Structure 1
């Protein structure tokens, strides 16, 4: 999801409007003095996405509606929300129909579906079911002016979902819920899905192996086959147009023999490679047998030692227990290696035999063509010409069959990998539904990555007295060495919060399938962060935005980022106010540059 434009609509002729304000593709900066109306514009963005916002009375009185245009999966959505106490939000798309929502729950379901996010029922603090409200996700990517810089996650209303911060972070990062209301039912469904996928993958692998066996060895690329088909068709067209039957017949026969000789050379190279592999496998197999013989000798020696009472007087003596265990594991490992080698060698021998057969067939074809070429040199008969056309047409047909087999194999290969990926995702989901859900490798990796990224962003912000030994706990909250956020004060707390949100934003946008591609700041506490540190932070966020097709939006009073006209936008107040320029003004009110 990316933002395109924002507009505040006036309530009447004397009301306030903003005009349509376009977002930059990477950075959007609202730069103005305090009291110019930056915060209402920032709030209006989140308001259109379902967040509860308490606007001041003058905004409610003079403004009718906020309109936000966004792109979701390359489709434009226009979200219009009436400013007031009741929830009234309309969504328009490029289709002629529109959807109007009068409660946050229905709108959340719509947004979750549009963004391809899961909508598993979660558990409330009262142990009742609830959907993941979309507005509960927004504080992960939006920091408001008051509470946003004092907590990692600061929703405008008290959290009502059990472990709400953890649940929303999991949802944003694409992980299964921590507390699923339908966990038991889902676990059964997931198990059935896994069984189905296992069976399907087995069938898919068998089909892929069968298609692989039908391919010639060595396997050519589809592009190479296309090139050969094009050459043969061109040769066939030349034959049809020629008037010199004899020379064209000889040339076509030479062309066919050249292709066959190239193929014969490729097969010979593949045969030599296979023979080398077979020879190496035999040598390795002999070496493994020697290892097994050595292991057996060592085991016999161990048994001889244990038979002496002076060394091991007790029948239950455990002196050589570790050695016995090691012997058993090593022997099993070596036997498994021999089994794998035998399977690979058998396969290579079959391929080599197949290549020998194909080489013999090609050699016979070359001999036949050479004989026909000799006849063509001595005679000028039409029969040789027809034979040449027939041979080339046959070659085109054979190459077409080969291409068809290659395409089927590649399609099956792609389908097989998709099944494997789906199975991995289902396994991750199954792990999350077990009691040991925190041991899911994907979640553990995310926790490690989040901690590392957060340390990097603390360096960018030049944060002092904050440990870089960051551990993310099971609730996905950072622990800075031995400290939690609550005991950190002043600018260090603001920097820590900024580092966390930047790290989460970077990890989410690194995933091309994540819909969260916008990070919004309402006036970072510039009195607590040096200009240079804030500039380094925004510059680093700009790099992430450019790399990951994302947006960063922030308002500022003293710090001013130097924008790039190609990727950034700067919103300046356009209406003359009593004391200073304002972002909202009346219809007909002259813009600031006209006064």
Structure 2
């Protein structure tokens, strides 16, 4: 099941043949920063993942495109890194997953493991940790332009912060919010809704009183709508007629001028029976008479339209008067009913409910804007570090790295103590973010074994998560532990570990999700925790997977 979760997320790993034979796909639902996503991995295809979000669907058929999308969920500016061939490379999910997923094959033997064919970045382990905790890369590609790009990104974020601060200040000023007002408003909303629900019978009685009026009002409003449509159609016809009328009057003026010009020209003949302009005279005269007849007809039509529009206007006035009178009758009937006083109370409650819901919506908007503001502040912190690290002629990010090393060292020490680790003389991280335990770099060949090695691995992953959250890094907030029985701890130590994880989660609400695969678990769970137990009876035992029918 744990491998299925990671496969659905896009991890490159081998699934059992039976799973590939009987399962069509692995599917997982994600929620990140309010975004709800469904990722489906087609197990029959070599590489095919489909992402569904709010009705839209995108399919990725290669690892690079999917990597760009997935890393975009964790950061707005994924780093451009350098591979072992000194070429440009990106972070793929498969090399980031081992930093927060512990598989049962290799994960419990060392703090970060990837197969040789997946270890292609320069200082890959360090680059992954740097990315998760918000440090700039150790080997950025094209470092010569990194400083300018980092400065431009920082300036853009500074502008976004100022804009976001203005939005929040305006909301707070316009709405005049009271600290801790949301619970009171939620309680009042629930109370009003309950009062309205309790008064449902009264509302039904009021509706029965007004049904006749409502039907008559509906018919009158439909009649008024028909008259409005007719009035609009007549108005359009009159506008068209006016346009044609203007054109005809223009033609009439031209023809009149032509006739007058013909009369003047005829005087050149000096004879009354001159036939020189006879053809033009007849043509202009006939056209002028025809136009005058047309204009006369148009004026008659215009008069008819004016009278029709006046009639429609009068009919509309009468219908509107009837609607006003009917509404007054309806109001009087409601006012005169035994439920009148209750109706006024319900109306007041309904208005108050609208106001309360509007205020809650504004409070939710303010919370969203403040969360966006906090994310911008976290991003600015990372970008300030990036600018410092990329600045030419200086020591790259020494202060930020030193601070991160100190936080990681303190955190892993505390986690090892929480887990009841015995016989160890301290742990710390060096400049390359390697973990040292008892003065020796922790690896698959060091002397720790059994539950001590398990405790170190648990402490390492918890420390990376805790420091990433404290620094506003790019960690998704997930820890997934595939822990078979032979790797389980004493129950008291495991409970201490989970209790401290709960404390971290309380400091960063909505940011953490921890998943354990364990047998014979006796932990006392709290509100919000979930246990997923096997539900399929197969071969005499319970299994997580089974036939669909």
In structure 2, relative to structure 1, the CA distance for the partners of 1:117 and 1:48 (3 Å cut) is farther
Secondary structure of 1:572's aligned partner? coil
State the partner residue of 2:340: none
Superposition pairs for residues 251-290 of structure 1, below 5 Å?
none
Provide the rounded CA distance (Å) in 2 between the counterparts of 1:441 and 1:481. Answer: 26
User: Number of residues paired by the alignment?
Assistant: 339
State the partner residue of 1:105: 64
Provide the rounded CA distance (Å) in 2 between the counterparts of 1:83 and 1:168. Answer: 27
State the partner residue of 2:535: 574
Provide the rounded CA distance (Å) in 1 between the counterparts of 2:80 and 2:432. Answer: 18
Provide the rounded CA distance (Å) in 1 between the counterparts of 2:6 and 2:19. Answer: 16
What TM-score do the two structures reach when normalised by structure 2?
A: 0.56
**Cα displacement string for residues 544-572 of structure 1 (whole angstroms, at most 9, x for unaligned residues):** 234322111011113332223x3111111
Higher relative contact order, structure no. (Cα contacts within 8 Å, ≥ 6 residues apart): 1
Secondary structure of 1:568's aligned partner? coil
Superposition pairs for residues 512-591 of structure 1, below 5 Å?
514=474, 516-523=476-483, 526-527=486-487, 529-548=489-508, 549=510, 550-564=512-526, 566-588=527-549
RMSD: 3.5
Q: Is 2:119 aligned against 1:162? A: no
State the partner residue of 1:443: 401
Which one of 51, 60, 68 corresponds to residue 91 of structure 1?
Answer: 51
Provide the rounded CA distance (Å) in 1 between the counterparts of 2:396 and 2:136. Answer: 11
Contact 1:535–1:561 (8 Å) recurs in 2: yes
- The Cα shift of 1:105 comes to 0.7
Superposition pairs for residues 307-322 of structure 1, below 5 Å?
none
Q: Is 2:11 aligned against 1:51? A: yes
Gaps of 5+ in 1: 1-40, 209-220, 228-415, 589-595
Provide the rounded CA distance (Å) in 1 between the counterparts of 2:17 and 2:377. Answer: 56
State the partner residue of 2:411: 453
Provide the rounded CA distance (Å) in 1 between the counterparts of 2:158 and 2:102. Answer: 48
Contact 1:545–1:552 (8 Å) recurs in 2: no
Mean Cα deviation higher: 513-522 or 568-577: 513-522
What TM-score do the two structures reach when normalised by structure 1?
A: 0.52
Contact 1:450–1:472 (8 Å) recurs in 2: yes
- The Cα shift of 1:169 comes to 0.8
State the partner residue of 2:434: 477
- The Cα shift of 1:222 comes to 6.6
Gaps of 5+ in 2: 167-171, 179-372
Secondary structure of 2:400's aligned partner? helix
Provide the rounded CA distance (Å) in 2 between the counterparts of 1:515 and 1:421. Answer: 13
Which one of 5, 10, 23 corresponds to residue 63 of structure 1?
Answer: 23
**Cα displacement string for residues 475-523 of structure 1 (whole angstroms, at most 9, x for unaligned residues):** 2112224211132321322211111101111222345674511110001
State the partner residue of 1:149: 108
Provide the rounded CA distance (Å) in 2 between the counterparts of 1:512 and 1:506. Answer: 10
In structure 2, relative to structure 1, the CA distance for the partners of 1:432 and 1:585 (3 Å cut) is same
In structure 2, relative to structure 1, the CA distance for the partners of 1:135 and 1:52 (3 Å cut) is same
Greater helix proportion: 2
Provide the rounded CA distance (Å) in 1 between the counterparts of 2:126 and 2:99. Answer: 11
